């Protein structure tokens, strides 16, 4: 690993990491030598990494390496493959603080959240190290004598993995760990805003003993580098794509996979509702909604997009929520670890966030709090650090919003949410289901009937009762419905379906040609039964 001088930031944040693509266990510059700079979003003076922009040639080499490695890796017994995952888990745990620091430095989430993200990767490794001894098939009874039926799980081949910056180690671990455990090999394109933790994750896989070519990492932007990986599906070089990101790009991935009859894993955006009914504990609901909305500066797929309030609780909730918002501490999460949230992940996320103010005012929504960027003209009283050095945004809150306003239906991906007033639980669930997303959801109430109705009728892959919309555990299925995904799931035993296919075996020991359905000994004699006489 090569570290470069980072000038005045050496002492504050550390040196600059010189990142290279990882192809067949070799670190390689881009074939045309081009690089980009990854800067600390909390403080633009800090150059976190210089990063190659992988070319078509680089992506092809990575795919060839993955294809070659597949032939050997698939033959390694699953419990032995799991040994690599076990070692990876130990290395992740041993380096948890450093990885979390790099996550905070390059994408701006708080230390507490960054530690949680690394823990999710550790938990995933621990779960799948055991799963290597449990990649069960089945024995199945045959219709015929002297014939055995059984099933095996087989790996799919080369998996293309494309991930976003907001969970730069947890989300890749959800994909790479089960894919590789199941005997696949991978080419991974991490997000351009979080290359450094990807680079370190690659180093840990190597240190864990992963053979050359099983994991290859190519860096760059969606276009062209990510696109090269999708083009490889058309070229027949990829047998599976696992993508987490926006719904718009997810559709592109779905199209290319669809025409090649490949089932991708698509984990996409969300407009996650949080319902608060009249009988809820207001303080508990405010605390959950505040975390769901402003944690990670609202840059989570499970961030709360609409707070749906029953009529009587609307006013008390609103006043306590606004009071809680005023206490939010915002700022540089490395120099001030006590902040509630840090900067927008990058300039482009910040610019997209600004657009929602225009949408809201055009649609006639009422802005209760929020002024876009925090800077000298719009200072946030509880700010810690130098606001001019990063893209820090005001916590924002709207009311007088309802479907079909775009503000109520579209994901914003930033520190903002809407208060929507409804009459009862029926109306609440109707509003909750209005967006064409269905990732996460939450309800605050103690009414068991309402909870039951919510569980039955909410259109979402995940729901919380009396807790926030965010949060995942490594052994529970993660994913959404509608525009939030294509029904595949991450995590737990469910994700194994994504990275294996079932192979059914007919083993005939009869030494003759037995034909199913035709040479089968169905019971020959059947008798009529007449119980009519038993009735009066």
| Binding region for ligand NAD (CB under 6 A) | 162-164, 166-167, 171, 189, 191-192, 221-223, 226-227, 230, 244-246, 249, 252, 267-270, 301, 411, 413, 439
Rounded least distance, CB 301 to ligand NAD, Å: 3
Beta bridge partners of 399: 366
Q: Which has the closest alpha carbon to 392: 352, 326, 327, 347?
A: 347
For 409-432, b where at least 16 C-beta lie within 10 A, e where not — what string? bbbbbbbbbbbbbbeebeebbebb
Residue among 179 and 387 whose Cβ is closer to ligand NAD: 179
Residue closer to ligand NAD, measured from CB, 192 or 333? 192
301 tagged catalytic = yes
If the CB atoms of residues 249 and 313 are measured against ligand NAD, the closer one turns out to be 249
- Helix, coil or strand: residue 91: helix
Q: What interhelical angle do 96-107 and 111-131 show, nearest 10?
A: 130
Strands annotated E in 439-508: 442-444, 464-465, 481-482, 500-508
Catalytic residue among 257, 301, 304, 393: 301
Find the shortest distance in angstroms from Cβ 381 to ligand NAD: 29
- How far apart are the C-alpha atoms of 274 and 298, rounded to whole Å? 14
Helix (H), strand (E) at residue 211: none
Burial of residue 196 (CB within 10 Å: 0-12, 13-18, 19+) is buried
Min separation Cβ 247 and ligand NAD, Å: 6
**SS3 state of residue 300:** coil
CB of 268 to ligand NAD, least distance (A): 5
CA distance 222 to 216: 17
Cα–Cα distances (Å) from 14 to 4, 5, 7, in that order, read 10, 9, 10
Least distance in Å: CB of 352 to ligand NAD?
Answer: 8
Given 267, 410, 411, 421, the catalytic residue: 267
Cβ proximity to ligand NAD: between 252 and 369 the closer is 252
257 annotated active-site: no
Task: Please say which residue, 309 or 495, places its beta carbon nearer to ligand NAD.
Answer: 495
The full length of the chain comes to 536
Residues carrying an active site annotation: 267, 301
């Amino acid at each position: 690993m090569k570290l470069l001088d980072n000038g005045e930031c050496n002492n504050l944040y550390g040196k600059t990491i010189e990142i290279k693509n990882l192809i067949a266990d070799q670190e390689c510059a881009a074939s045309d030598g081009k690089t980009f700079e990854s800067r600390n979003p909390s403080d633009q003076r800090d150059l976190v990494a210089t990063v190659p922009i992988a070319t078509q040639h680089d992506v092809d080499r990575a795919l060839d390496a993955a294809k070659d490695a597949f032939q050997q890796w698939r033959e390694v017994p699953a419990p032995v493959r799991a040994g690599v995952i076990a070692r990876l888990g130990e290395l992740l745990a041993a380096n948890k603080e450093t990885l979390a620091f790099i996550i905070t430095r390059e994408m701006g989430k708080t230390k507490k959240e960054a530690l949680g993200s690394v823990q999710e990767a550790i938990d995933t490794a621990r779960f799948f190290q055991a799963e290597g001894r449990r990649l069960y098939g089945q024995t199945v009874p045959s219709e015929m004598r002297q014939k055995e039926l059984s099933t095996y799980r087989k790996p799919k081949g080369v998996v293309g993995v494309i991930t976003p910056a907001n969970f730069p180690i947890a989300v890749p671990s959800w994909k790479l760990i089960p894919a590789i455990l199941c005997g696949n090999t991978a080419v991974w394109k991490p997000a351009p805003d979080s290359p450094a933790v990807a680079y370190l994750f690659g180093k840990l896989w190597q240190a864990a003993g992963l053979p050359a070519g099983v994991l290859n990492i190519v860096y760059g932007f969606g276009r062209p580098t990510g696109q090269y990986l999708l083009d490889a599906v058309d070229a027949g070089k990829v047998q599976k794509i696992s993508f987490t990101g926006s719904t718009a790009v997810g559709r592109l991935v779905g199209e290319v996979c669809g025409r090649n009859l490949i089932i991708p894993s698509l984990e996409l955006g969300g407009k996650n509702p949080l319902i608060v009914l009249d009988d809820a504990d207001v303080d508990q609901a405010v605390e959950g909604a505040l975390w769901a909305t402003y944690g990670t500066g609202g840059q989570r797929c499970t961030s709360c997009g609409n707070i749906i309030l029953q009529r009587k609780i609307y006013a008390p909730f609103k006043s306590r929520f606004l009071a809680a918002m005023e206490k939010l501490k915002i700022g540089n999460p490395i120099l001030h670890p006590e902040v509630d949230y840090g900067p927008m992940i990058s300039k482009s996320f910040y610019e997209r966030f600004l657009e929602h103010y225009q949408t809201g005012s055009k649609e006639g929504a009422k802005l209760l709090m929020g002024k876009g960027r925090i800077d000298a003209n719009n200072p946030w009283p509880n700010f810690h650090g130098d606001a001019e050095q990063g893209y820090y945004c005001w916590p924002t809150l709207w009311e007088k919003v309802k479907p079909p306003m775009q503000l109520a239906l579209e994901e914003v991906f930033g520190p903002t949410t809407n208060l929507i007033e409804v009459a009862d639980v029926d109306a609440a669930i109707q509003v909750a289901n209005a967006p064409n997303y269905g990732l996460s959801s939450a309800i605050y109430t103690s009414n068991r009937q309402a909870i039951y109705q919510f569980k039955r009728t909410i259109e979402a892959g995940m729901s919380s009762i009396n807790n926030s919309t965010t949060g995942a555990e490594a052994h529970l299925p993660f994913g959404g419905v509608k525009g939030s995904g294509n029904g595949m799931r991450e995590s737990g035993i469910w994700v194994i379906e994504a990275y294996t296919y079932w192979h059914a075996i007919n083993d005939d020991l009869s030494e003759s040609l037995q034909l199913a359905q035709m040479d089968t000994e169905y019971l020959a004699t059947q008798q009529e039964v007449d119980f009519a006489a038993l009735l009066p």
